[in-house]
Chain A
Amino acid sequence: MTTPPRTLLEKIWDEHLVAAPQGEQPMLYIDCHLVHEVTSPQAFEGLRLAQRRIRRPEATFATPDHNVPTTDRRLPITDLISKQQIDTLRSNCQEFGVRLFDLGDADQGIVHIIGPELGITQPGMTIVCGDSHTATHGALGALAFGIGTSEVEHVLATQTLRQSKPRSFEVRVDGALHPGITAKDLVLFLIGKLSTEGGTGYVIEYTGPCIRKLTMEERMTVCNMSIEAGARAGMIAPDDVTFDYLRGRDFAPPDFAAAVARWKTLPSDPDAIYDRLEIYNGGDVVPQVTWGTNPAQVVGIDSVVPNPVDFADPSDRESGVRALDYMGLSSGRPIVEIPLDRVFIGSCTNSRIEDLRAAARVVRGYRVVSSVHAMVVPGSGRVKRQAEQEGLDRLFTDAGFEWREAGCSMCLGMNPDTLAPGERCASTSNRNFEGRQGKGGRTHLVSPAMAAAAAVSGHFVDIRQWQYR
């Protein structure tokens, strides 16, 4: 008997199915559970109340990232409620025996940055975290998705999760990206095509020659934003790029060759059938800038702010009008004429070393215009150290950027890094929702190079025409 061809998703799913009790949702085994300070306190409290333990503390890793200050770490945290959340994570990890990359730890950082960077994230794994951008880890060929706090508690107690099997969605990208076009532009372009709910109910697997050419870090940027198209997860089949990335990392399997042999069986079989397929071409992607209040409200840099009246769907029209009002923009305005007050380079989408290199290359020899306040927040302690070794921090600070400590920072502004009402920001993060970066703040999502160029120009510019110095 031959087994029918299976997708990457199906292989991981089948492998991790623990039980499918009659009339109940299937139970999926979870290999790795990542925890941060904001969505975990109530889960630990639930365990305590029910006198339960963590089933596999050694498969659980924690770090504070959302709330942490990105200024001098030697100073006490001034926001006492944030401090309480960080302290609570620390005491919970101690009580339940969870490995914590604490604020003072050299490897602390945004949870989705440090997972891959430490080699905790591996192909074929099931990975969850109380955070929707867990999809990032799918870049290494894992099935990784965000869960709520009740589910965090469930995973802590049982090392499993109840899940209905998601449908599979192949997003194939043919061709190649033009020079100067980044993974961020690609994923914003895809979200613009798919809409914010196009992926709902699906796990997206990105395939095709354009995807295969991406570096590991670029793949993470793409998978990271899958949730912005509504998808539960995004994934990319592991290949030599993946294996080369993982080799030698702290938590990489000791018998690496055996692991690679196992991982090589993961990619979808040639005849595997996906529930849905969409095909795009990387050559069609130009630098992207969002104009509205969801990531699908996006256009190319060579475009103008659209007129919602032209939208076919009534609720798109309605939300377009509302978005323009919130963003203080009028239809027809060229994107390159939009002036900025703030620039934020950071977040789990774009704060890895390659992102910082790309931004630093743009700012070399330039200065941030006086009307713009710009900051760079590395994704982790490791990224920060690496950047400093390469002298990137000097390029940024010489240009007038602030150079900060690792954390989520102004991606969601739970710490003091926020926009003031009406402030307009070019941001490398993943959400431009109303108030996301501060009440009344206006966010435009772009790539790191585009953000850097905007900082020294005071408005958006087409990075393809940039004069590098």
Chain B
Amino acid sequence: MQPFTTHTGIVAPLDRANVDTDQIIPKQFLKRIERTGFGQFLFFDWRSLPDGTPNPDFELNRPEYAGASILLARRNFGCGSSREHAPWALADYGFRVVIAPTFADIFFSNCFQNGMLPIRLDEQDVETLFQRASSGPYRLHVDLMAGTLSDDADFSREFQIDPFRRTCLLNGLDAIALSLQQSDKIAAWEASHGVLPVSDVLGNTR
């Protein structure tokens, strides 16, 4: 996984609440068997008009947000389906940070698996950022180690993040390798619960 330490980028404001993963990546694009190549389909139904041309009204299509790498949204971002294709699409499109007042649980943890940082901020602060980002290219600096978010002017906030998740992101750790270090504990659990090669928990297979 790509480590995340600091990041500076342009903010794309997406002024909507309850953005669900069906919008982030519509189902017709879930058929790929790879992790890559989803960026072109990000927010597909919003980005394109029925005839397939770009929708000029959609936020991400505006020239001032070209190359944005920080997405700003309203509360409950990423609700709905568990599809990890959502963070894959965001990352593939170029986003490294998503800022919102609240996130749906599964989306939130899926972000961390993909080197992407979801930041929860107060509704008030999010409102401030929306105002600043609405009038053209607006830049934010994220420092994960320090847990700070700031702009080139006077905006500066600390954000909270689970220390374990922070460590994993900072170092780009392979979560599975880390967990496999606990193999003896897993085996001990299995032994103490009578988990045999063929499970007794599930009864005999037919």
Contacts and interface: CB of A to CB of B under 8 A. Distances in A.
Candidate in A39, A82, A158 with the most chain B CB atoms within 10 angstroms? A158
A260 interface: no
Given A157-B180, A164-B162, A197-B102, A148 B201 contact: no
B34 to A, nearest CB: 7
A84 B76 contact: no
Contacts of B105: 200-201, 230, 232
A30 B50 CA distance: 44
Nearest to B105: A232
B59 interface: no
Interface in A195-219: 196-197, 200-201
A318 B17 contact: yes
Contact of A29 (B28, B113, B167, B186): B186
A196 B45 contact: no
26 contacts: A18-B186, A25-B165, A29-B186, A31-B201, A32-B202, A38-B83, A39-B83, A42-B35, A66-B30, A99-B205, A132-B80, A150-B110, A151-B110, A157-B179, A158-B180, A158-B183, A197-B79, A201-B105, A230-B104, A252-B203, A315-B74, A412-B22, A433-B22, A434-B45, A435-B45, A436-B22
A165 to B, nearest CB: 12
Given A23-B167, A58-B202, A434-B22, A146 B106 contact: yes
Contacts of B202: 31-32, 58-59, 120, 122, 251
Given A45-B34, A55-B186, A158-B182, 16 more contacts: A23-B163, A42-B33, A58-B205, A59-B201, A132-B80, A148-B113, A154-B176, A158-B179, A197-B18, A253-B203, A315-B75, A322-B16, A412-B81, A431-B20, A431-B80, A435-B45
Interface string B114-126: 1000000000000
B85 to A, nearest CB: 8
Interface string A53-76: 001101100000011000000000
Interface of A: 18-19, 21, 23-25, 27, 29, 31-32, 38-39, 41-42, 45, 50, 52, 55-56, 58-59, 66-67, 79, 81-82, 84-85, 88, 99, 119-120, 122, 125, 130-132, 146-151, 153-154, 157-160, 162, 164, 196-197, 200-201, 227, 230, 232, 250-254, 294, 315-316, 318-319, 322, 412-414, 421, 431, 433-436, 439-440
Interface stretch (B63-71, B132-140, B191-199): B191-199
Interface residues on chain B, size class: 35 or more
Top 5 closest pairs, chain A to chain B, by CB = A150-B113, A41-B33, A148-B110, A148-B84, A146-B82
B109 A254 contact: no
Contacts of A421: 50
A137 to B, nearest CB: 13
Which among A41, A85, A150 has the highest number of chain B CB atoms within 10 Å?
A150
Contact of A19 (B18, B185, B200): B185
Contacts of B75: 197, 315
A285 to B, nearest CB: 24
B31 A85 contact: yes
Contacts of B206: 250-251
Contact of B30 (A122, A316, A414, A434): A414
B35 A435 contact: no
Contacts of B84: 39, 42, 130, 148-150
Contacts of B175: 150, 154, 162
Nearest to A411: B27
Contacts of B23: 433-435
A316 B74 CA distance: 11
B113 A200 contact: no
Contacts of A18: 182, 185-186, 189
A439 B176 contact: no
A39 B185 CA distance: 28
A59 B195 CA distance: 10
A204 to B, nearest CB: 12
Contacts of B102: 197, 200
B33 A45 contact: yes
B182 A27 contact: yes
Contacts of B131: none
Interface in B20-50: 20, 22-23, 26-28, 30-35, 45, 50
Nearest to A296: B18
